[in-house]
């Protein structure tokens, strides 16, 4: 069994059980597994009656109504349904003041609710109505904005704070102004240097349109090194393997229709709106589709790390939890599913147990020799478990970062550090492997007395496990975003690694179309919420 094979399944187990010592940071790390209670299922709450909540808003003035109305024209720039009908009706001086107040209140709740919570539910993908508690928060926020003399503050307070949201919004405005026309490449076999024909011309046209190739070429020119280099750059930007060949994954990415690309952008803006609004003074972002981890502090990007994520068969989920502790020199406790193939290997070659330092335990927790295993119980109730102590072949590496969750996912070091050279890094069994993990550990422990980098290195130079509980928990947000913005405002469209975008885009566009019609009906009076004529 190779070290790579040992590292293949590292994260299907639950979190290692830890016994805290109140007098010191160290604990006994047995490598055993601790059960995690599932989160309680929330009972669906009835949607809020927005007209009733709109009637509760008091203190409208011409200035406040105008501020809300003008802000509604920005809804499409967020990838949200057009609210221009509301805006024009609110600004319509022929309507009564009370009617315009009700329309302004209703439009505000609809718009701010979308910005705050999203158009569709993050879990069910169904349209997401506001509930009474949320509507009450928005009404109070608007009343405070009225008191401060600037109604637009209420809209700004509902707008997502995620760092690249503004970059995606600018991209949304760009594609609204000029719908991009991306030339496609006809389906067919892969293309490489030396090939020529119509499909090579189509690929060269596309690379030119992407700004990756100059226009000094002629129809019929063969696939050359210049085109290969341009294609490598395109693949690298999309987080595809930069082979320089037009493979099928690259062809799919190139041929995504413009309307689908816009839907992808809309869905990514929506996914930003799903994230918790209080990100944490110090927090960690992981974007699975970008193979990237970011550590943020006081609104500033403090560190960036490359990561490996789950393979397609064991894709890493999206969630947010608080990091509670880290483990230096961790044990690896193998779950039954991962351990059984290794037991079979040990049956064929018992010397592997000693070679890799594994420990085998019976059901009572007593250590046993590989030669004491009762192999006749293999197909019945298998009573054995297996752990690997800290060491150079332990797939956990030198540190793991624990944020207890029902998915049993955590961040950890790896023995396969050479694989970080790959552009596409979906190699793990679900957990997140991080590059330069001790530097990340130093950032996590920067505000923990007595734990500077020198002490971290001192502990990891040994072989004894050490658990450090954090004085202040650090939120960890794991997302899957296929459109990302950089610090220069540039936007990249990434490969949909896990094929998750389709469901989100379809659900979002369906809700978008439905809400667009309902918005018009509400202004016209067809929805029974506001009795008014738009014409």
- Examine residue 11 and state whether it is found in any structural domain, yes or no: no
Do 428 and 370 lie in a common domain?
A: no
Query: Sorting pLDDT into bands at 50, 70 and 90, what band is 281?
Result: very high
192 contacts: CB under 8 Å, gap ≥ 6: 223, 228, 244, 245, 246
Q: Are residues 427 and 449 in the same domain?
A: yes
What's the burial of 278, exposed, middle or buried (CB within 10 Å: 0-12/13-18/19+)?
exposed
Read off the pLDDT band of 224 (50, 70, 90). Answer: very high
Is residue 443 included in any domain, yes or no?
A: yes
What is residue 418's predicted lDDT score, i.e. its pLDDT?
Answer: 94
88 and 169 part of one domain:
yes
pLDDT tens-digit profile of 489-526? 789 999 999 999 999 999 999 999 998 876 555 655 53
Per-chain mean pLDDT for the chain: 87
Average pLDDT over residues 225-250: 93
Q: 171 and 125: one domain?
A: yes
The answer on 162 and 126 residing in a single domain is: yes
Question: Rounded mean pLDDT of 97-118?
Answer: 96
Secondary structure (3-state) at 248: helix
Token pair for 511: 């809700």
pLDDT band, very low/low/confident/very high, at 17 (cuts 50, 70, 90): very low
pLDDT value at 28 more than 60: no
Rounded distance between C-alpha atoms, residue 489 and residue 188, angstroms: 35
Contacts of 224 (CB under 8 A, 6+ apart): 193
Residue 19 has pLDDT above 80, yes or no: no
pLDDT for res 179: 66
Count of residues for the chain? Answer: 535
d(CA 519, CA 166): 25
Does 367 map to a domain?
Answer: yes
Which residues touch 47 (CB under 8 Å, ≥6 apart)?
A: 129, 130, 131
**Structural domain range at position 349:** 335-388
User: pTM for this structure?
Assistant: 0.81
Residues 299-352: tens digit of each pLDDT: 899 999 999 999 998 999 999 999 999 999 999 887 666 677 788 888 899 898
Same domain, 239 and 358: no
- 150 and 75 within one domain: yes
Contacts 24+ apart (CB under 8 A), 171-176: 171/265, 171/483, 171/485, 171/491, 172/76, 172/77, 172/78, 172/79, 172/265, 172/266, 172/269, 173/77, 175/261, 175/262, 175/265, 176/76, 176/77
Asked if 443 and 323 sit in the same domain, the reply is yes
3-state per-residue secondary structure call for 434-488? ECCHHHHHHHHCCCCCCCCHHHHHHHHCCCCCEEEEEEEEEEEEEECCCEEECCC
pLDDT digits (tens, 9 = 90+) for 126-167: 999 999 999 999 999 999 999 999 999 999 999 998 889 999
Confirm whether 360 is domain-assigned. yes
Residue ending a domain, among 255, 270, 298, is 255
The tokens for 331 are: 């044990």
d(CA 478, CA 534): 44
305 and 366 both lie in a single domain: no
The answer to whether the CB of 115 falls within 8 A of the CB of 137 is no
Domain stop point among 352, 367, 388: 388
Report how far residue 497's alpha carbon sits from residue 255's, in angstroms, rounded to the nearest whole number: 16
Q: Say what the pLDDT of residue 486 is.
A: 82
Phi and psi dihedrals of 270, rounded to 5? -60, -40
Tell me what percent of the residues of the chain surpass a pLDDT of 90.
66
Lowest mean pLDDT segment, chosen from 105-114, 282-291, 349-358, 440-449: 349-358
> What total of structural domains would you count in the chain?
4
Taking only the tens place, the pLDDT of each residue in 465-496 is 999 999 999 999 999 999 999 877 789 999 99
Q: Is residue 309 part of a domain?
A: yes
The answer on pLDDT for 31 being more than 50 is no
Look at residue 412 and tell me if it is in a domain: yes
Query: What is the pLDDT confidence band of residue 529, given thresholds at 50, 70 and 90?
Result: very low
64 and 140 inside one domain: yes
| CATH at 407 | 2.40.440.10
- Please give the average per-residue pLDDT across 427-450, as a whole number: 96
The answer as to whether 8 is a domain residue is no
- Assess if residue 529 is contained within a domain: no
Please tell me whether residue 119 adopts helix, strand or coil conformation: coil
Q: Identify whether residues 217 and 358 lie together within a single domain.
A: no
Does the pLDDT value for residue 6 go beyond 90? no
433, 471: one domain: yes
Q: What is the pLDDT of residue 141?
A: 97
């Amino acid at each position: 069994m190779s070290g790579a094979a040992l590292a293949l399944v590292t994260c299907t187990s639950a979190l290692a059980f830890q016994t805290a010592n109140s007098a010191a940071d160290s604990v006994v790390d047995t490598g055993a597994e601790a059960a995690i209670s599932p989160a309680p299922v929330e009972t669906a709450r009835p949607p809020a009656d927005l007209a009733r909540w709109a009637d509760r808003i008091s203190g409208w003035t011409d200035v406040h109504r105008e501020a809300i109305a003008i802000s509604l024209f920005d809804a499409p720039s967020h990838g949200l349904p057009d609210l221009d009908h509301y805006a024009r009706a609110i600004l319509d001086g022929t309507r009564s003041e009370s009617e315009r107040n009700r329309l302004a209140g209703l439009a505000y709740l609809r718009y701010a609710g979308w910005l705050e919570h999203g158009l569709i539910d993050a879990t069910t993908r169904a349209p997401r109505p506001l509930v009474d508690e949320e509507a009450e928060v928005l009404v109070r926020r608007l009343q405070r904005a009225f008191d401060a003399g600037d109604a637009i503050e209420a809209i700004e307070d509902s707008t997502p704070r995620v760092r690249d949201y503004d970059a995606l919004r600018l991209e949304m405005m760009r594609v609204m102004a000029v719908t991009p026309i991306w030339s496609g490449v006809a389906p067919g076999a892969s293309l490489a240097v030396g090939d020529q024909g119509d499909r090579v011309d189509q690929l060269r046209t596309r690379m030119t349109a992407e700004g990756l190739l100059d226009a000094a070429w002629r129809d019929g020119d063969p696939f050359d090194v210049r085109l290969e280099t341009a294609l490598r750059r395109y693949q690298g930007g999309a987080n595809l393997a930069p082979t320089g060949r037009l493979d099928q994954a690259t062809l799919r990415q190139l041929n995504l229709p413009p309307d689908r690309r816009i839907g992808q952008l809309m869905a990514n803006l929506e996914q930003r709106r799903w994230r918790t609004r209080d990100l944490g003074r110090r927090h960690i972002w992981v974007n699975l589709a970008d193979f990237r981890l970011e550590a943020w502090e006081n609104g500033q990007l403090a560190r960036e790390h490359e990561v490996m994520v789950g393979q397609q068969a064991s894709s890493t989920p999206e969630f947010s939890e608080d990091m509670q502790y880290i483990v230096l020199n961790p044990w690896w406790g193998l779950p039954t599913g991962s351990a059984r193939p290794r037991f079979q290997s040990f049956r064929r070659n018992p010397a592997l147990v000693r070679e890799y330092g594994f420990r085998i335990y019976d059901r009572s927790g007593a250590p046993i020799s590989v030669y004491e295993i009762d192999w006749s119980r293999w197909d019945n109730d298998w009573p054995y478990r297996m752990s690997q102590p800290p060491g150079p072949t332990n797939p956990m590496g030198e540190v793991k970062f624990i944020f207890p969750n029902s998915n049993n996912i955590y961040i950890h070091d790896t023995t396969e550090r050479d694989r970080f050279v790959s552009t596409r890094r979906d190699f793990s069994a679900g957990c997140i492997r991080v590059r330069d993990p001790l530097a990340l550990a130093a950032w996590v422990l920067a505000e923990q007395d007595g734990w500077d980098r020198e002490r971290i290195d001192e502990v990891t130079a040994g072989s004894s496990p050490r658990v450090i509980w954090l004085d202040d928990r650090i939120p960890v947000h794991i997302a899957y975003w296929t459109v990302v913005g950089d610090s220069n405002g540039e936007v990249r469209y990434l490969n949909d690694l896990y094929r998750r975008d389709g469901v989100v885009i379809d659900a979002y566009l369906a809700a978008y179309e439905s809400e667009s019609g309902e918005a018009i009906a509400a202004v016209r009076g067809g929805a029974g919420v506001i009795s008014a004529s738009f014409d």
